[in-house]
Structure 1
């Protein structure tokens, strides 16, 4: 699905970094998406969106999953 979306679609290099750094990087590298910070354990919808990147974090605001479009 991500192939039909515009711009960069995955940021494996952001795993383990601070949320604020991840958000700034994602929004700079792909202006077509909005980021959503989500605390691990939070229930989210399963719908797909080319304009959304969820940034999963732990209580220390460290990225815990590779951010991807969806």
Structure 2
């Protein structure tokens, strides 16, 4: 998958997440519809993540997906 360039692309690529830009300009994502278990949190998954830009957030979201698959 190529790196999404706009928020709508990022949202389409990661439908399990709610993605938005804060008033401070950071990009945030939080999981839709489920809370992580303590086991998932202990293995490095996050309920909510943030980044300076869309490309950084896309990388974090890819890492979260890889972590989920590893469990």
TM-score (norm 1): 0.34
* Higher-Rg member (1/2): 2
Higher helix content, 1 or 2: 2
TM-score (norm 2): 0.34
